[in-house]
Amino acid sequence: MREEPAQIADTLRDAQRGGRGAFALLVEFHQNMVYSLLVHMLGEEAVAEEIAQDVFLELHKNLNSMESPVHLARWLRMVASRRGIDEVRRRRFRAPQGIEDLPEPRIEPEVEDVLLSARLRRLLERLPAKHRAIVVLRYQEDLDPGEIAVLLEMPVATVKSTLHRALGMLRRACERAGLGSQEFTQREAV
């Protein structure tokens, strides 16, 4: 579902007046973004859905403070990523070891992109909470470090250095696993 901004603004106004149907449309419009942020951060679909639902319930409570559709989207990204960080820290999601310590099974170099994507997502789940959030906001939502810094209330320089560190960790883990290592090492050699 894609609506014109004017229609979203109308829908937001209707929802603020108490329209449940309008609120449901807002949920439908943003559900993929919120759910994806959480599923990419947490790696567990059921948990991601539960927290994504909580995010929308919180939105409902705070609906009247939403000034515009842009504000609403930014608010959802902020709350979803912070909830994701909290959840990662609370549950210590499947990260008994650091990303650097884990032995990775080797995979043939001609591995398919689909498999690579799945492995990358799994490697991402081994990053520390804030690293994950920054990577997901950067590459899923295509936000620049300045926008991420605002959402996560961090200095821009910290976002940049964390992102750089996270990419380094992922790249090294990929190389150890033999995932696209040729491409990565070739580029590195240039």
Q: Which residues bind another protein (CB under 8 A)?
A: 7, 11, 14, 19-25, 27-28, 31-36, 39-40, 45, 49, 52-53, 56-57, 60-61, 113, 116-118, 120-121, 124, 135-136, 138-140, 142, 164, 167-168, 170-171, 174, 180, 183-184, 187-188
The amino acid present at 11, given as its one-letter code, is: T
CB of 151 to another protein, least distance (A): 16
Answer for the pair 74, 37: CB distance below 8 angstroms, yes or no: no
Instruction: Closer to another protein by CB, 120 or 150: give it.
Output: 120
Environment class of 92 (CB within 10 Å of its CB; exposed 0-12, middle 13-18, buried 19+): exposed
Answer for the pair 33, 76: CB distance below 8 angstroms, yes or no: yes
CB of 117 to another protein, least distance (A): 4
Give the span between the Cα atoms of 11 and 42, in whole angstroms.
30
Instruction: Closer to another protein by CB, 39 or 149: give it.
Output: 39
Instruction: Closer to another protein by CB, 85 or 135: give it.
Output: 135
CA proximity to 125, closest of 81, 179, 88:
88
Give the span between the Cα atoms of 7 and 159, in whole angstroms.
34
Instruction: Closer to another protein by CB, 159 or 170: give it.
Output: 170
CB of 94 to another protein, least distance (A): 17
Answer for the pair 104, 176: CB distance below 8 angstroms, yes or no: yes
CB of 89 to another protein, least distance (A): 21
